Structure 1
Amino acid sequence: MPDFNVTAIGPPQRASDDWLSTAVVDADGHRFTVLGARSETAKLRLAAEQPILAALTKPHYATGLPFQLAKAAGTARTAENDPLVVFPELPGQPLVLKLLNQDAARSLGAAIGAIHELDQTIVSDLNLPIEDAPTIRTRLLAEVDEAARTSRVPSSLLNRWEQALEDVSLWQFAPCVIHGDISDETLHMAGDELAAVTGWFGLAVGDPAADLAWLFASAPEDCLDALEESYAVSRSQQPDAHIVDRALLLSELALSRWLLHGVRNDDPQVIADAEDMLTTLARQVGDDRPLGRTSPVIETDWSDSWQDTSEDAATNGSDER
């Protein structure tokens, strides 16, 4: 980047197999975040996100969002030719679930509702995925069938999921714009307010429950009513009656997807991790427990299992900013 003179480098700094990021300060005292993609999957996602952010930060869309977005200030390359993107530093810090209270939950619900109210033309104009309810249901049925063929999923869970997927009443909903990767890493809080949202490479038209799934699986139970009520108020139309049921179903299927990721990549550690979580889930929900409002069904760190590890997600985009 020409005329970009870095005078200091410091925290927050993070490194993983996929990403490398650091805060920097320029000669004028402005703070930026430099994000580098290290793996091929990360490079695809970083490239996919740039046109999405460029569109979202246009006034037509940005004025309806009650939080800040990253907007690239420039790009560069590392000595190894890996891509780097420089963003003005966003406010807030990644969400810490154990600190979530009802006020913060209301802020999250309103923000997710605002995302779901975005004009769907942003997705179609960018040629991003668009799925209706029958397509989503069919895709999930195929995932459950594939998981069943591994013989590593408790039969009680397979029955539970198949019953939910075959219940037509659960799948009567209006698709909307979804973020696609809501997690503690993509939600940045400043006190009890959501200050910024990152990780937009999963933008699509799909099931609104997808953006609520991680929170309903992980957030403190005493925050869920505030989250749901704030979300409903922020929508122009009342959410469908089974959005929470589907959110919980999708949160459970994230464990199945983690298992499939391990099987496809012949990774025994991932397989063992997924099997352990599936066993715990089966024990907690029981054979006949209906899908619906419950306490968090898995008391563990969802950060790995939650990630969409499908081939489509890696190719199309589904962060780290």
Structure 2
Amino acid sequence: MEGSRPTLSGMARSHLTLAALATSAVAGLDVAAAQPFSSNRHGDFDTALLTARDGSHYLVRVPNSDAAEAAQNAELTALASLSSGVRTRLPFALSSFVGQSVLRSRDGRPARRATVYEFVYGRRVRLERLYPGPLPESIGRAIAAIHSLPAGFVVDAGLPVVTAIDSLRSVVGVMDRAAATSLVPAALLSRWESATDDTALWQYQPTVIHGAMNADALLHSADAEDRIVGIIGWSDLRIGDPARDLSWILSAPSPDTVDQVLEAYAEHRPGSDVHELRRRAMLYAELELAKWLLFGMDTRDSGIVDDAVQMLDVLVQSVHGHIAGGLAHETGPILDVDEVQRMLDERPQVAFDHRSRSSLSE
């Protein structure tokens, strides 16, 4: 669930209203203090941080759109599947559901639910400040721990299972749609096609993945250990390509940081082919730009289209000299793809619509 140091922000529902909803949702909850809480979710939720009399902290959230409510429901399913036994295998904390209350709807729309969660402590990782040190090693270890979980609990919970073939089809679908716009440089299309034609690249074993991993999902400690203490945002928990959870790190400001994360990942997940993981991660990272272009086309927003075209042109220049050799581990970080993903996430309805079209699409 959401976590980090709380910050004050304006909210549609006051923190006092949210505190009252929380007390009705959780029997015996004695709230001593409440304050608005901003989690960089762009208004998707009204959120408050609550302090109980015993000193424990909780978050109460109310979604502000159907897409946000769908994401919240998906996360509740994911958190419920992460049993205490599963959680003992993870070297970090994650939240738990505490209670819910239904809000009355005065305009005939479906009622929203105020949901209360345990608060996860920690500071959000800042990708632009991620340099070699203990933190990248901890990130690699944390992601490896997720990917080492047994798949059974995800399957039992009815969460998505995405095979390697499903993932390849999804990638080809994005490429074909992007190519149809005639706005993607031919060199990039050729580069991506060479990756999809490489059968060895798609012969991997799907694992449990977070599914929405990025810097915002990671919480680290403020002490000298500087380690990952919490991971949030579990609404896309599934079985899928482990490279999905690693693509964001390629935008780190130092290549040494990327190497450190992947080396730690390999150390804590023996037998994983980090070279192939990195190649697919790079492909996914580059295709985020294609998704941004498609979003602009779908919404007929010429500003977004122009922005995407410009970024694709920069990408061509960034990988110049690597085109002929295709996606290889020597190809370094290209663009801030974490920022591109964040821009896409700011449009939750589009992301939700895309997921609903195919439960097997990553």
Matched residue pairs, number? 317
Q: Does residue 1:49 correspond to 2:75, yes or no? A: yes
Residue identity in the other structure for 2:355 = A
CA–CA separation in structure 2 for the residues paired with 1:202 and 1:159 = 30
* Aligned twin of 2:334: 297
Please report the TM-score for the alignment, with normalisation by the length of structure 1.
0.90
Q: Which deviations, in whole Å up to 9, do the C-alpha atoms of 1:175-200 show, x marking residues without a partner?
A: 11111000122111113211111111
The answer to which of 4-13 and 221-230 deviates more is 4-13
Residue identity in the other structure for 2:145 = A
CA–CA separation in structure 2 for the residues paired with 1:173 and 1:37 = 37
CA–CA separation in structure 1 for the residues paired with 2:243 and 2:344 = 14
* Aligned twin of 2:117: 87
Q: Does residue 1:34 correspond to 2:60, yes or no? A: yes
Three-state SS of the structure 2 residue aligned to 1:107 is helix
Q: CA deviation at 1:236?
A: 4.2
User: Is the Cα contact below 8 Å between 1:254 and 1:305 reproduced in 2?
Assistant: no
* Aligned twin of 1:121: 152
The answer to which of 274-283 and 104-113 deviates more is 274-283
CA–CA separation in structure 1 for the residues paired with 2:73 and 2:336 = 34
Q: Does residue 1:278 correspond to 2:312, yes or no? A: yes
Instruction: Provide closer, same or farther for how the CA distance between residues 283 and 310 of structure 1 changes in structure 2, counting only shifts above 3 A.
Output: farther
Aligned ranges 1:150-189 → 2 under 5 Å = 150-189=181-220
Q: CA deviation at 1:107?
A: 0.4
Residue identity in the other structure for 1:199 = G
Q: CA deviation at 1:71?
A: 0.2
Three-state SS of the structure 2 residue aligned to 1:151 is coil
Q: CA deviation at 1:147?
A: 0.9
* Aligned twin of 1:144: 175
* Aligned twin of 1:222: 256
Q: CA deviation at 1:263?
A: 2.0
Q: CA deviation at 1:312?
A: 4.0
The answer to which of 199-208 and 262-271 deviates more is 262-271
Q: CA deviation at 1:118?
A: 0.8
RMSD: 2.4
Q: CA deviation at 1:219?
A: 5.2
User: Is the Cα contact below 8 Å between 1:45 and 1:314 reproduced in 2?
Assistant: no
Q: Which deviations, in whole Å up to 9, do the C-alpha atoms of 1:144-192 show, x marking residues without a partner?
A: 0011111222222111111111111222211111110001221111132
Q: Does residue 1:313 correspond to 2:355, yes or no? A: yes
Instruction: Provide closer, same or farther for how the CA distance between residues 267 and 3 of structure 1 changes in structure 2, counting only shifts above 3 A.
Output: farther
Instruction: Provide closer, same or farther for how the CA distance between residues 261 and 245 of structure 1 changes in structure 2, counting only shifts above 3 A.
Output: same
Stretches of structure 2 lacking an aligned partner (at least 5 in a row): 1-24, 106-110
Larger of the two Rg values belongs to structure: 2
* Aligned twin of 1:70: 95
Residue identity in the other structure for 2:78 = I
The answer to which of 156-165 and 33-42 deviates more is 33-42
The answer to which of 258-267 and 104-113 deviates more is 258-267
CA–CA separation in structure 2 for the residues paired with 1:268 and 1:262 = 7
Three-state SS of the structure 2 residue aligned to 1:86 is strand
The answer to which of 98-107 and 61-70 deviates more is 98-107
Three-state SS of the structure 2 residue aligned to 1:202 is coil
User: Is the Cα contact below 8 Å between 2:36 and 2:47 reproduced in 1?
Assistant: no
CA–CA separation in structure 2 for the residues paired with 1:215 and 1:306 = 17
CA–CA separation in structure 2 for the residues paired with 1:304 and 1:209 = 18
CA–CA separation in structure 2 for the residues paired with 1:200 and 1:181 = 7
Q: Does residue 1:254 correspond to 2:291, yes or no? A: no
Three-state SS of the structure 1 residue aligned to 2:229 is strand
Three-state SS of the structure 2 residue aligned to 1:131 is coil
Identical columns (%): 31
Three-state SS of the structure 1 residue aligned to 2:279 is helix
User: Is the Cα contact below 8 Å between 1:98 and 1:220 reproduced in 2?
Assistant: no
* Aligned twin of 1:263: 297
User: Is the Cα contact below 8 Å between 2:141 and 2:264 reproduced in 1?
Assistant: yes
CA–CA separation in structure 1 for the residues paired with 2:344 and 2:328 = 19
Q: Which deviations, in whole Å up to 9, do the C-alpha atoms of 1:48-86 show, x marking residues without a partner?
A: 111210121x23211111110110111234565432221
CA–CA separation in structure 2 for the residues paired with 1:36 and 1:275 = 36
